[in-house]
Amino acid sequence: MSATAPITVVGGDGGTSFIYWPGQDEVVLRQLDVWVGEHQVGCIKITMNDGSEKTFGQPSDKHLFIRFDKDEYISLLTLWSNKAEDHLGGISLKTTNGQTFEAFPTEGKPNVTPVEVNTACGMCVGVLGRADAEINALGFMFI
């Protein structure tokens, strides 16, 4: 595996730790699905370009997603904790092809300091964090 960029995890300390990394350099993020609740991100589903996928948390009513084209990567990623700082509160990203994506709780963007993530060359090869019924914390793995 190529060296990963420093991993920034945003959110709280609760939940069960997880890591999802298919383990091959050519396997990268193809689609990100996010379900949000009133106060936090409730669920994420990661789909890689080889068709493998993994879901963390529990899906809820408000569902958002972004699908990446071949050779389209993340150029800018910002994460928020929720207001209580015990869960993931939001995701915002921009791609190399100019797509933008935002997922925030139904109560709105948390009034906390956002964290800009080092995306290296933008190729997301996995995620890690903490979750049970909701996403307590999340970090993206980039090469």
Quick: pLDDT tens for 123-141. 999 999 999 999 999 999 9
With contact defined as beta carbons under 8 Å apart, do 138 and 4 qualify?
no
Residues 92-106: tens digit of each pLDDT: 999 999 999 999 999
Domain 9-142 fold is Vitelline Membrane Outer Layer Protein I, subunit A (2.100.10)
Mean pLDDT, residues 48-76: 96
Over the stretch 2-54, which tens digit does the pLDDT of each residue have?
Answer: 667 899 999 999 999 999 999 876 899 999 999 999 999 999 999 999 999 99
Place of tokens 């999340």: 138
Domain residue ranges in the chain = 9-142
Closest to 74 (Cα-Cα) out of 110, 124, 20, 21 = 124
78: left (phi over 0), alpha (psi -120 to 50) or beta: beta
pTM for this entry:
0.95
